[in-house]
Amino acid sequence: MRAAVRSIRQIKAAFRHECSRYFSNIDRRRKLSVYSGIGLAQIPVYSKDCGSYVVSSLLAYRGLSVDAAKVSRNEGLNRAGPLIEYERRIAAGELADGDLCQVGTLRELQRLYDELVVSVNACRLDRYAASEKSGRSRWLWSRFMPQTSYSPVRGLYLYGGVGTGKTMLMDLFFDQLPCNWRKKRIHFHDFMLSVHSRLQKHKGVPDPLEVVAGEISDEAILLCLDEFMVTDVADALILNRLFRYLFSNGVVLVATSNRAPDNLYEGGLQRDLFLPFISTLKERCTVHEIGSSVDYRKKTSAKQGFYFVGTDSSDLFKEKFQELIGNSIPIQQEVEVVMGRTLKVPLGANGCAYFLFEELCDRPLGAADYFGLCKNFHTLALEGVPIFGLHNRTAAYRFVTLVDVMYENKARLLCTAEGSPYQIFERIVTISDAQQMAPRTSSRSRKNDDFDLCVDNELGFAKDRTISRLTEMNSKEFLENHAAMISEKQTLEVKQSSRVKAVHG
């Protein structure tokens, strides 16, 4: 009896706490609206024609950011949401002046944020109130008590061109979420590696995919996946069942991609088996296009110094590599990458690893191997990146994956290449691009470069992202931030080493 009374008291206390938090958030937003002289409903409405925004409305709304700057940095419950934080950062000079198309996307993210705050209990977001059943226990229980628990809140699928700020906007949304929520932000490559690793672990179970989905949803009800891009047939074949289980367990998905849902895995093997996933995705997520045509990565200042063009740049490349490793002597190493696998590094020292292009991209390596490298080395030196075409399409796919993984892990790339980022992908085109190309004359149709033209939709779409990322990774801002990150890490390691010596001294 006493236990029952105690449980009722705890429920009442939790209810009072949630009500207090909800109404304090509403009250705080009202105050901000009064201070700024504009309500949240007056924010410009998104349109695919970005010019249709009323600029005066955005400027009036900017007054909100002055007060938002005072509250959005507070801990815990005082977060106001991604839209207000975006304006605070612009007012503080941390971001460039607002992109009107990005504001439209932020309205969608803010809408999702508000719905999640109101439905925190219904969505079972609070990690401390969530069930502690393991994935296998969930699976066993579901054999006797089959049940589904779709979230009352629909997720969000953001897609748009390269460099339009998709990742930045999703990260801004994720950073505003309360710390006690069950949430995860992860790159799609990394997510699928984790799924395949879990499937191996539960090999003996009749339906290991259901167990894996149970484990993932136990860890995170709000799942944020960056760079959703399906190129692997093994991933394509399991995505529909995996996400049917995840959604039935109440998972809310927030994803970014370069491609609209209907264009995912276009032209892929056995795509008819993948199509039901597209329907499921559109049913459980609001699909929103970022209409901005600005590639913000290309607005960074260019700096020649880590991307060397031309066959005669090998000596400069090696001098730069020696400069980066300092007085250390590079030696052959072997590093563990994933699931007990190891990878040989021809030369490595001081956090830098050297490879010939063939050693990383002409061998059967994948995202897992590249993730392992980035965990062990902050800089990769890659010699001999070629012009890509039909003859080396597989190597082009691996290079795209390598750049994706390095960018996600904020790794530095030192390389020599036969052309600029744009030039090395010039012969890779989509089917649509190929159809629009001018007809060749009889004399030109025999040229080798025509024969080497690679018509590949997936690679054709991915190349724009890779060109954009290579440009940013070679920018002054990226390299300065990377150098500062290494310096800070080394300073921390020295301090920790001094503490250890002091303790044992």
Per the listing, tokens 């529909």 go with: 240
| Rg of the chain over all Cα atoms, to the nearest angstrom | 25
**pLDDT tens-digit readout, 343-393:** 999 999 999 999 999 999 999 998 889 999 999 999 999 999 999 999 999
CA-to-CA dists, residue 181 to 13, 175, 220, 221, 422, angstroms = 19, 12, 8, 8, 42
Of 256, 15, 280, the closest CA to residue 150 belongs to 280
Per the listing, tokens 């796919």 go with: 397
Does the pLDDT of residue 63 top 80, yes or no?
no
Both tokens of residue 25? 């958030």
Cα 277 to Cα 169: distance, rounded to the nearest angstrom = 25
Supply the DSSP symbol for 62. T
Angle subtended by helix axes 457-473 and 393-408, to nearest 10 = 40
Cα 345 to Cα 356: distance, rounded to the nearest angstrom = 10
Listed ranges 2-16, 244-258, 335-349; the one with the highest mean pLDDT: 244-258
**pLDDT tens-digit readout, 164-201:** 778 888 999 999 999 999 999 998 988 998 999 899 89
281 vs 461 pLDDT, higher one? 281
| Predicted local confidence at residue 65, as pLDDT | 35
**pLDDT tens-digit readout, 430-457:** 887 787 775 544 443 444 455 789 998 8
112 close to 156: Cβ distance less than 8 angstroms? yes
Residue type present at position 465: R
Both tokens of residue 345? 């590094």
pLDDT band at 77 (very low <50, low <70, confident <90, very high): very low
307 vs 291 pLDDT, higher one? 307
Cα 402 to Cα 369: distance, rounded to the nearest angstrom = 9
For the chain, which residues make up each domain, given as ranges?
Answer: 17-290, 300-489
Cα 300 to Cα 477: distance, rounded to the nearest angstrom = 7
Cα 406 to Cα 374: distance, rounded to the nearest angstrom = 7
Q: What DSSP assignment string belongs to 249-276?
A: TT-EEEEEESS-GGGTTTT-TTGGGTHH
Max CA pair span of the chain: 94
| Predicted local confidence at residue 304, as pLDDT | 52
Mean pLDDT, to the nearest integer, of 236-245?
94
Q: How many CB atoms lie within 10 A of CB 129?
A: 12
Q: What DSSP assignment string belongs to 141-197?
A: HHHHS------SS-EEEEEESTTSSHHHHHHHHHHTS-TTB-EEEEEHHHHHHHHHH
362 close to 374: Cβ distance less than 8 angstroms? no
| Predicted local confidence at residue 199, as pLDDT | 92
Strand pairing of 352-356 and 342-349? antiparallel
Does the pLDDT of residue 67 top 80, yes or no?
no
Of 217, 278, 227, 223, the closest CA to residue 248 belongs to 217
Domain at 17-290, CATH from 1.10.760.10, 3.40.190.80, 3.40.50.300, 3.40.640.10: 3.40.50.300
| Residue 297 C-alpha from the chain's centroid | 15
**Partner residues linked to 126 by β-bridges:** 181
| Predicted local confidence at residue 248, as pLDDT | 94
pLDDT band at 504 (very low <50, low <70, confident <90, very high): low
| Predicted local confidence at residue 286, as pLDDT | 95
